[in-house]
A and B are shown apart, each in its own frame.
Chain A
Amino acid sequence: MATPAARLPASAALRRAGTRVGLERVLGPDFRLGFLFVAPTVLLVLALVAYPFGYAIYLSLTRKYVGVPPVFVGLDNYVKLTWDGFFQRAVVNSFIFTFGSVSVKLLLGMLMALVLTSKIRFRSFWTGVLLIPWVAPTVVSALNFLWIYDYSLGVLNYLLVRVFGLLPQGVGWLSEPGTAMASVIAVNIWRGFPFFGISLLAGMKAIPAELYEAAAVDGAGPVQRFWRVTLPGVKNILVIVVLLSTIWTFNDFQIVYILTKGGPGGATQVLPVLTYEIAFGAQRLGEAIAVALYMLPPLAVVIIVLARYMRRGQAK
């Protein structure tokens, strides 16, 4: 009679063979090679995305001062932020800043694309010129606008008061809540609309000319052609560009920080600047990360919608 020890290797080998056949059936005959190819990417994603993200979530659940070990406090930071007036104002400001910017960028971008698809002279030159705000470093643009908006020394008041005589005296562009928010939005629009314009331009160029000709033959005017041909033709690009720009604008830090630092009196305080202030001003790293993560769910919705649209585009 064979001992159990003598029987085990054979049965184990059979089981392994069975499992391998099963895996091959599910994953394909080259699954080992597949794992090998995927492994570097998985490792990179784990090391560069998953670990920092997981650590950030952990830190947001702690009271963490600079140079001192973190103390776990559960959801305290999130609860505290929920009832914090400055945080609430920053959330509202972030939405005003984002939607104010994105909506105007969309309109200007569409206008830019329409103008650049029409028959105008020096089209390439104008395309290049309109791309300058997008290409210029944000810090440089923001510093220039800081000077442009200056009450006494800025060029904007100089033009409005001295050159064109449109106003009896200058405006403190960055010193009143309304004008300060409008000013930072204006800079974001100036910087961001070429992205809309150039993306939509690419989409419009892909629309077959026959569609416009057929529409014209059917008696459609320019407005109808825009609504019935152009807009449906660029719909997918439009959605992707709006969603991407929403994410970027929501996370925009440089323009607001350089122009107003969130002032006056917190009137332009947006979440990225508040995160920065709490991290480096107050040096409360746990709470700063909680501010940054607080708005993750709404942004995640935007990202999911964006990803679905992009996948749908690929499927088509």
Chain B
Amino acid sequence: MDQRLRDLTEQLDAGLIARREFLRKAAVITGGTAAGLHVLSKMADAQPKTKLRVWLFKSFVTAGNDTLAKHIEAWAKERKVDVETDWATFGDREQKFVAAIEAGNPPDIAEMNIYGPMRYKAALRDVSKIATDIASAKGGFLPFAERAMKAEGKFLGVPRYSMTTVFFIRKDIMEAKGLKPPKVYDPDVVEFARKTTDPAKDLWGFGQTLNRSDDGDGFMSNILWDYGGGVWDKDGKPALGTAFLKQNTAALQFAVDTIKKYRIQPPGVMGWTDPSNNEAYMAGKLVTTNNGASLYYAMVQKKHELAPKTLLVLTPGGPAGSFVGSSCYNWAIFAKSKQTELCEDLIRWVEDESRFNEYVHASIGQAGPVYRARVDTPYWKSDPNFDAIVQNILRSVNLGYPGPTTPAAAEVQGQKILTDMAGRVVVGGLSPEQALKEAHKRIEEIYKMRRA
């Protein structure tokens, strides 16, 4: 009880004041206190909430996007934080990041792709503590995720999920022709595609662009590794047209042959951009193609007639093995942010297993594991096609392989030098050796400038 009311009660008991006066004074005290509390409460509400700017990646898997947005909204409500969410797509994320960083106005936290931490490392905060905390609670990092997020011994991103590519096959056509899933590109994919290509029906056994695109660039990286070559040596020095020239020549020749010699690809394939093979596959024009799980999601979600007729298998390989480039979406906190603790709290919230599990279910195969404990979950056994996704993730290698992931490697990927190289052979009339040497020169230049 309020001290003043207690005093009044004592005075009343002692007969010092009349009952009427007691009631009058008590009413004044109680009313004043209530009014004061009400004003204080209004003032507290009027205090500005802490603001957090969050940039998310808008993938083609819209259900996953919605789930993540819902989790962040719930966190904001729980923590009483005013969250300003913005989305960046495949097509505009780099522009947005570059513009924001150069304007000195980046978000507090952003969901980035695997190259983000390497590209923007000068603007990012060291997140080693929270990354290792989260990893230790989830059985540790998968090796590719740890390597991809680390620069000079520091974590610049907290791994979230891996969006890998797999090999899509029209199961119905394969079975009708009595074929088996190919294990290597040459001769398996070539033979498979030759037997299933039917130009009269505009049906093509293999659909893989070598045009400037992420799909084309990913395929070119993989095929160089498959033949024992690559862009970089194990010390991170350019090797495209020197140490690995022989292997890379064979790989490039094969890639070009799929279009020019074997004629197993649609004639317009060199004009394709990233969504083109998705559209062609869903239109029933392709028997096989390399793509991320977003294509499978699109078919399952829309109950497309080809969804049950699609088989996902491991990416085929070459003479040196079967390689696939890694993917690791992650959370990066910008150095300019004054809300580091809130950012870390948000990461812990969305990476909570029950919430992440909901996200994985909504994403239909797109959100692959980056932590050991997330590999052997019932979800990844719920669809036979998911096995290829998980296995491809587990064996994936990083940008720059067999060397370290470097800013120069990220720049070579960003400039689409490998697809330019392939294009110079397919449509530019250069020999594979000439194209490799031309590309090597560009890579040497990048390497020197980045070192300088």
Q: How far is the CA of A285 from the CA of B361 in the complex (A)?
A: 41
Q: How far is the CA of A292 from the CA of B438 in the complex (A)?
A: 23
Which residues of chain B are within 8 angstroms of A169 by Cβ–Cβ distance?
199, 267
- Whether B268 pairs with A150 at a CB distance below 8 angstroms is yes
| A177 touches B (CB below 8 Å) | yes
- Whether B427 pairs with A267 at a CB distance below 8 angstroms is yes
Q: How far is the CA of A169 from the CA of B200 in the complex (A)?
A: 9
Q: How far is the CA of A173 from the CA of B442 in the complex (A)?
A: 29
| A52 touches B (CB below 8 Å) | no
| B125 touches A (CB below 8 Å) | no
Which residues of chain B are within 8 angstroms of A201 by Cβ–Cβ distance?
none
Q: How far is the CA of A150 from the CA of B270 in the complex (A)?
A: 11
Interface centre among A146, A152, A281 (most CB of B within 10 A): A152
Tell me which of B213, B271, B420 contacts A266 (CB under 8 A): B420
Interface residues of A in 65-103 (CB under 8 A from B): 65-68, 80, 85-86
Interface flags for A41-84 (1: CB within 8 Å of B; 0: not) read 00000000000000000000001011110000000000010000
| B245 touches A (CB below 8 Å) | no
CB-nearest residue of chain B relative to A89? B428
Tell me which of A146, A173, A175, A263 contacts B419 (CB under 8 A): A263
- Whether A264 pairs with B423 at a CB distance below 8 angstroms is yes
- Whether A264 pairs with B123 at a CB distance below 8 angstroms is no
Which residues of chain A are within 8 angstroms of B151 by Cβ–Cβ distance?
none
Which residues of chain B are within 8 angstroms of A133 by Cβ–Cβ distance?
none
- Whether B414 pairs with A265 at a CB distance below 8 angstroms is no
Q: How far is the CA of A283 from the CA of B119 in the complex (A)?
A: 8
- Whether A262 pairs with B212 at a CB distance below 8 angstroms is yes
Q: How far is the CA of A184 from the CA of B304 in the complex (A)?
A: 33
Interface flags for B395-419 (1: CB within 8 Å of A; 0: not) read 0000000000000000100111001
- Whether A281 pairs with B271 at a CB distance below 8 angstroms is no
Q: How far is the CA of A285 from the CA of B95 in the complex (A)?
A: 12
| A252 touches B (CB below 8 Å) | no
CB-nearest residue of chain B relative to A183? B271
Tell me which of B101, B267, B445 contacts A175 (CB under 8 A): B267
| B298 touches A (CB below 8 Å) | no
Known A-B contacts A67-B122, A265-B424, A283-B98; the reply to A151 vs B268 at CB < 8 A is yes
Q: How far is the CA of A174 from the CA of B442 in the complex (A)?
A: 25
- Whether B424 pairs with A266 at a CB distance below 8 angstroms is yes
Interface centre among B213, B266, B267, B419 (most CB of A within 10 A): B267
Give min CB distance, B231 to chain A, whole Å: 15
- Whether B211 pairs with A151 at a CB distance below 8 angstroms is no
Give min CB distance, A181 to chain B, whole Å: 11
CB-nearest residue of chain A relative to B411? A282
Q: How far is the CA of A281 from the CA of B102 in the complex (A)?
A: 15
Tell me which of A66, A173, A277, A285 contacts B271 (CB under 8 A): A173
Interface flags for B419-452 (1: CB within 8 Å of A; 0: not) read 1101111111000000000100010011001001
> Interface majority SS on B: helix, strand, loop or mixed?
helix
CB-nearest residue of chain A relative to B204? A152
> Interface majority SS on A: helix, strand, loop or mixed?
loop
Which residues of chain B are within 8 angstroms of A283 by Cβ–Cβ distance?
94, 98, 119, 411, 414
- Whether A277 pairs with B270 at a CB distance below 8 angstroms is no
- Whether B98 pairs with A264 at a CB distance below 8 angstroms is no
| B83 touches A (CB below 8 Å) | no
Give min CB distance, A149 to chain B, whole Å: 7
Which residues of chain B are within 8 angstroms of A152 by Cβ–Cβ distance?
202, 266, 268, 280, 283, 285
- Whether A281 pairs with B428 at a CB distance below 8 angstroms is no
- Whether B271 pairs with A172 at a CB distance below 8 angstroms is yes
CB-nearest residue of chain B relative to A178? B427
- Whether A279 pairs with B98 at a CB distance below 8 angstroms is yes
- Whether A263 pairs with B267 at a CB distance below 8 angstroms is no
| B269 touches A (CB below 8 Å) | yes
Which residues of chain A are within 8 angstroms of B199 by Cβ–Cβ distance?
169
Q: How far is the CA of A284 from the CA of B427 in the complex (A)?
A: 28
- Whether B268 pairs with A65 at a CB distance below 8 angstroms is no
Interface residues of A in 140-194 (CB under 8 A from B): 146, 149-153, 169-177, 180
| A261 touches B (CB below 8 Å) | yes
- Whether B415 pairs with A264 at a CB distance below 8 angstroms is no
- Whether A177 pairs with B202 at a CB distance below 8 angstroms is no
A-B pairs with beta carbons under 8 Å apart, 21 shown? A66-B122, A66-B123, A67-B101, A67-B120, A67-B122, A80-B445, A85-B438, A150-B268, A170-B202, A171-B267, A172-B267, A173-B268, A261-B211, A263-B423, A264-B211, A264-B212, A265-B270, A280-B414, A281-B416, A282-B414, A282-B415
Q: Which 3 A-B pairs have the closest CB atoms?
A: A265-B423, A151-B268, A174-B271
